Amino acid sequence: MTKIRWTDRTNMTLLTDFYELTMSKGYLDNDMSETVAYFDLFFRQVPQDGGFAIMAGVEQMIEYLRDLTFTEEDLAYLGSHEVFDDRFIEFLRQFKFTCDVWAIPEGTPIFPNEPIVKVRGPIIQAQMIETMLLVTINHQSLIATKTARIVRAAKGRPVLEFGSRRAQGYDAAVLGARAAYIAGAAGTSCTLCGEHFNIPVLGTMAHSWIQAFPDEFAAFAAYARSFPSDTVLLVDTYNTLHSGIPNAIRTAREVLEPMGYRLRGIRIDSGDLAYLTVKAREMLDQAGLSDCKITISNALDEYIIRDLIVQGAAVDSFGVGERLITSRAEPVFGGVYKLAAIEDQGQVIPRMKFSENATKITNPGNKSVWRFYDKSSGKAIADVIGLAEETITEDHPYEIFDPLHTWKRKTLTNFTVRSLLEPVFVAGELVYPHRSIEEIRKDCAHELDRLWESLKRFENPQSYYVDLTLALWETRNHLLIQAENPS
């Protein structure tokens, strides 16, 4: 059976803010449809004041851009609005995506203010894709970032994504589970995600299963007979220690073991999880079920998981739902998409957004991003944003400086350097090699290992250097001075 890509369910071209289309008509009216523009997608702050975020969503961005076209139904709908005339509708009918696109690969740690996606092309096209790029990258990067925190808190114990029913819609359930897997979740309860992305799917039973039978043991026994090689029993429907665990042990002895199977695990979904897991472990071990695993769920997040481990909870894995799939503590990633330059007769003219709020001032020009790694430790030590025509080599020391406090400087030596933005589309043609989700997941784990532990703290993580090259800093500073003194 041929798999249908996620975005093939419906045409996504009109998943855009209406002003993208009104601006597009305005560009056409003003003979600017072929004006070449550069846009940067970046974010300003790591969610939950963390030390890093994780890039995700590139594959869905590719599917959207590769199939970008206006259907006759789309055109009929747009034509029903008085603001759009026949000339603009015909322009959209002939629309063909021809932009150049670069992106930081999925699974890569990313930091504020650096371009994580760069688009170069006719301004109408580059403008029109803003909303879809933002919703795609923002959502999956948010969930991947949250998952990395939760996985870290679990200290090697598997984290299972259980959040579909609490997700903010269908796409959020499926694509959120995908992002969670990239960032280290062991699997998902979302069957559709498993089908589309070949991610392990997991699940046990609900309380309703147990309530549907005359008693708890009857429910456990029936389940064990149906799934003897994969019996995981939910033990907190009535009383975890006085009913659930004893009936689970009885099921192991009277149903599974005579069939030649072992009880694989139990799940606890309520109560004092630290206390209950310790007592459950004691009871299972005393019954000769030391190989039976204990999974817990119930509104978990990285802080609760961390505290449970500190308290000595006897836990083998965690089922994490709403606080992962919604990133409940901070449910907005905050990526933005800003114009950075215009081409005029082949010359790149930098453009910059000014603001009384210093954090909203953008970096101008056609840019690249480089990451420096220490040769001795292999750890990432700094990112530098520069102009695309610049080069950084490894054969001599490189001085970085704080763009706001320029006296803060550091000379890097004994490093390797990597260009982070990789070509995705060239003149509208896809050039980016497809990577399986397992490859992306593996790369993510590798790159996270290359971050210093101080960056991974939940509270007050070390700030990572994201600096500008001297050439970009001078360009930015010149435009700021011009804005203050337009004469």
Query: How far is residue 483's CA from residue 487's CA, in Å, rounded to a whole number?
Result: 9
DSSP annotation string for 170-191:
HHHHHHHHHHHHHTT--EES-H
What integer pLDDT is reported at residue 25 of this predicted model? 97
- The yes-or-no verdict on residue 465 having pLDDT over 50 is yes
DSSP annotation string for 221-246:
HHHHHHSGGG-EEE--SS-IIIIIHH
Q: pLDDT tens, 363-384?
A: 999 999 999 999 999 999 999 9
Query: How far is residue 386's CA from residue 175's CA, in Å, rounded to a whole number?
Result: 32
- The yes-or-no verdict on residue 412 having pLDDT over 90 is yes
**Amino acid identity for residue 211 in this structure:** Q
Query: How far is residue 84's CA from residue 75's CA, in Å, rounded to a whole number?
Result: 10
**Amino acid identity for residue 306 in this structure:** R
Query: How far is residue 480's CA from residue 464's CA, in Å, rounded to a whole number?
Result: 25
Average pLDDT for 291-297 = 98
Q: Architecture of 144-325 per CATH?
A: Alpha-Beta Barrel (3.20)
Q: pLDDT tens, 309-325?
A: 999 999 999 999 999 99
What integer pLDDT is reported at residue 355 of this predicted model? 81
Average pLDDT for 175-191 = 98
**pLDDT category of residue 3 using cuts at 50, 70 and 90:** low
What integer pLDDT is reported at residue 487 of this predicted model? 64
Cβ proximity of 364 and 348 under 8 Å:
no
- The yes-or-no verdict on residue 1 having pLDDT over 50 is no
Of 99, 81, 86, 109, residue with least CA distance to 22: 81
What integer pLDDT is reported at residue 8 of this predicted model? 53
pTM for the whole structure? 0.96
Q: Spell out the domain ranges in the chain.
A: 9-143+331-484, 144-325
DSSP state of 394: S
Average pLDDT for 193-217 = 96
Q: pLDDT tens, 236-249?
A: 999 999 999 999 99
- The yes-or-no verdict on residue 72 having pLDDT over 60 is yes
Torsion of CA 325, 196, 201, 50, to 10 degrees: -30
Whether domain 9-143+331-484 has CATH 3.40.50.1110: the reply is no
